[in-house]
Amino acid sequence: MTSQGFAPLTGVRMDRQFFRFEEYLEFDPALVVDVLQGRRFGVIFRDVIPVAAQKEMVAKFWNSPALRRRTGEPSYHVGTYHWNKPIDTYLAESAAETPHVMDVLDVTDSPWHWFRSVLAEELAREGASLRLAEMSGAKACPALIRAWNKEGDFSLEPHEDAAQCRDPQQAGFEAQQVLDYEICAVNMCIEHEEGGRLVLWNIRPDDETRRRLDIEHTGFSYPPETLTDFEQIRLDIRPGDIYVFNGRHVHAVDASRGNRTAVSFLLGYIDDRTVVTWT
């Protein structure tokens, strides 16, 4: 190897017992709590979003007056994301976009609503609550509804979700406290045509690796050549599926054709009694 960028990543590899994605046909919030508490890597609940709810959300998404295209990417979204932004910008965008996001999410049997209420009940048994992340009274965006259609080996390039929670531009945002616990990604697939598998690698990169790749506060992206040494999982995703996994591991979406639209957010504990979500 001549390029230093292609040296293998360094970081934490989990044992094979942990690095597994388990499939279920019914939603069980206790399994989500397992992911949140670091006992389980990932879980997918197959076909748990009613077809009528999927269709209604997809129609509202593509017709939303707030539908935006991500600069420089063939990606459309309703809602906003904190990645690589000053926190004031994210919170102002969240306030402005939340009514549009809720309009897409407010359908009969909305998975966003039932996922949160059932998970909140489960957490309450342990004396913990679930809410949106905040800063100075301003709230995080409830969800990002996003369609990625990029061509190439990866429609969403390999990345991890921890680095973005240490961005100095976001000092004081509650999501930064999640780093003391696990960082979990939740995705609800509402539209999916072809391909677009979720790809996960058994590596949680360390700071040295992030600095070398100059992605210390973004975690985006890890060149595929740096990942070849690590065990990987490729998971087929279908409309109606909800999946939750530990976002410290490098993950991506492989080549897809047509629309692949999902409702997503991140979640984690900020203290032993509080779980927050953000986007």
Positions in the binding site for Fe ion (CB under 5 A): 161
* Pairwise CA distance, residues 76 & 243, whole Å: 21
Indicate the residue among 161 and 182 with the shorter CB distance to Fe ion: 161
* Pairwise CA distance, residues 123 & 135, whole Å: 22
Question: Shortest approach of Fe ion to residue 159 CB, angstroms?
Answer: 6
Indicate the residue among 158 and 240 with the shorter CB distance to Fe ion: 158
The continuous run of DSSP H or E covering 189 comes out as strand 184-195
CA angle 6, 10, 12 (to 5 degrees): 145
Indicate the residue among 103 and 157 with the shorter CB distance to Fe ion: 157
Indicate the residue among 53 and 165 with the shorter CB distance to Fe ion: 165
The token pair that represents 136 in the structure block:
């100075």
Question: Shortest approach of Fe ion to residue 130 CB, angstroms?
Answer: 20
Question: Shortest approach of Fe ion to residue 127 CB, angstroms?
Answer: 29
Contact (Cβ atoms closer than 8 angstroms) between residue 19 and residue 41: yes
Contact (Cβ atoms closer than 8 angstroms) between residue 50 and residue 255: no
Indicate the residue among 53 and 185 with the shorter CB distance to Fe ion: 185
The contacts of residue 113 (CB under 8 Å, 6+ apart) are: 105, 106
Indicate the residue among 40 and 248 with the shorter CB distance to Fe ion: 248
Q: For the stretch 225-234, what's the b/e string if a residue is b when 16 or more beta carbons lie within 10 angstroms of its beta carbon?
A: ebbeebebbe
The token pair that represents 198 in the structure block:
């979720």
Question: Shortest approach of Fe ion to residue 24 CB, angstroms?
Answer: 22
CA-CA-CA-CA torsion sign (146, 39, 238, 117):
negative
Backbone φ and ψ for 193, nearest 5 degrees, come out as -95, -65
How far is C-alpha 270 from the geometric centre of its chain's CA atoms?
17
Indicate the residue among 91 and 162 with the shorter CB distance to Fe ion: 162
The token pair that represents 246 in the structure block:
């530990």
Indicate the residue among 60 and 249 with the shorter CB distance to Fe ion: 249
Question: Shortest approach of Fe ion to residue 272 CB, angstroms?
Answer: 25
Contact (Cβ atoms closer than 8 angstroms) between residue 190 and residue 54: yes
The contacts of residue 82 (CB under 8 Å, 6+ apart) are: 90, 140, 164, 170, 173, 175, 278, 279
Question: Shortest approach of Fe ion to residue 19 CB, angstroms?
Answer: 17
Question: Shortest approach of Fe ion to residue 125 CB, angstroms?
Answer: 29
Question: Shortest approach of Fe ion to residue 215 CB, angstroms?
Answer: 13
